[in-house]
Amino acid sequence: MDYFFPNPKPATLVLLRQAPLGPYLGLFAKELRERGFSVGAGRKMIILIVQFGRWLRLNRITVPEITSEHAAKYTEYLVRKKRFAVKRGDAAVIRHFLDLLRRTGAIAKEVVPLLSRAEELTHEFLLYLQKERGLLATTIACRRMFVLRFLNSYITDPTVDLSALCSSDVVTFVQRQAARVSPKGAAQMLTALRSFLHYARYQGYIQIDLAAAVPAVASWSMQSIPRSLPKKQVEQVISSCNRQTAIGRRDYAILLLLARLGLRAGEVASLSLDDIDWQAGSISVHGKSGHRPHLPLPDDVGEALAEYLREGRPRLDSRVVFLSGNAPVRPIRSSVVTDVVKRQLERAGIDSPRKGAHQFRHGLATEMLRHGASLGEIGELLGHRNPDTTAIYAKVDLDSLRALAMPWPGGEI
């Protein structure tokens, strides 16, 4: 508490110590400091909990009786009475404090509601994808969405099981959903369904191969050209980072990983300290195609990572390389990498039609192709399992394509 209230007034000390939740405020303050909150932000959170405790006392609610419902009622009370300004994030602060009370045993743990049959089957399937197939969390989350939607549409009551599932059920679901999603989303939906139906047959929930009944959605391979950021603009974006700040050092290292090694946003976010071999000058990547060991670590990338780890990375008991810049300090998600790209494009004054991280990956592949690298070498660096995935970059090799072009009828003889 001394960190957030270094020179408290006597009245403030009385308020903190005599509040109904006073005995737990010290532990709460300790956690706030460990999570990287500033003095001002932490003080406001503690005062919010003090006010919550006073409301509990007015309503004669003792600490052991506190539930999540009381937190919701308190927020409604503030809005109704307009006693205090309700700020975005206040509810999350109270939820975190209640979680602390549960961990200390001061209040009872919440009863987890029973899963529906559709949720149970989906949960089993996701564990299989994680433990047996080793898929990335982002891929698993995508499949979860479509599989749960499919099972909820079929299992309408607890007595229904999968044994009566037939091909018409699968086709009907696909026909209804395909019109609501993009072509890419439709392809992901079909992949999720086939994967789940293979799993269901393996587990004995169904006896026939319904995965073969999943219809195809029209999709032409290599119908588009990879959208990449020109090399000059890539360097402009990288140099726009303000490396005098901790977040700027982090963003600079992230952009270099995207531009020099062609990593995906998720691969950058999941990068661990254990993946960097400083002695060998190499880096290991865990991507969509599994583990890609020992990619060469360019000098500028290694220097940027070292600078961030020494002078920019917050202290946290985590092996993940990149952490959030603001409290609560935690490992970043792939969406943060996308946000970094958007922010730096704007900072560099570049109006790119694409705002995501993948354009750096495409740019690297295009530059490698122009400098004579083979499609096989590009696919190995980018971690493509299927050569057809890399083949799309042949469309940007205009010099080679011109040699294959047929004379245009009516043109020069």
Tell me which residues are annotated as active site.
Answer: 264, 288, 358, 361, 384, 393
| 152/141 Cα distance (integer angstroms) | 16
Q: For 316, how many CA atoms within 13 A lie in the half-sphere containing its CB?
A: 25
Quick check: helix, strand or coil at residue 81?
A: helix
Distance of CA 269 to the CA centre of its chain: 8
Q: Which residues of 26-46 are buried (b: 16+ CB within 10 A; e: fewer)?
A: eebbebbbebbbeeebbbbbb
Cα-Cα-Cα-Cα torsion 256, 259, 263, 267, nearest 10 degrees, comes to 30
Of 265, 269, 260, the C-alpha closest to 300 is: 260
Please measure the distance between the N-terminal and C-terminal CA atoms of the chain and give it in whole angstroms: 87
Which residue bears the tokens 């506190």?
A: 66
Q: Residue 271 in contact with residue 250, Cβ under 8 Å?
A: no
Q: Which of 43, 42, 34 is nearest to 314 (CA)?
A: 34
Whether residue 328 is preceded by a cis peptide bond, meaning omega within 30 degrees of 0, is yes
Angle of helix 137-154 versus helix 167-178 axis, rounded to 10: 110
Q: Phi/psi of residue 405, each to 5°?
A: -70, 140
The angle subtended at Cα 218 by Cα 133 and Cα 178, nearest 5°, is 75
Place of tokens 């390389």: 321
Tokens for 74, please give them: 């308190």
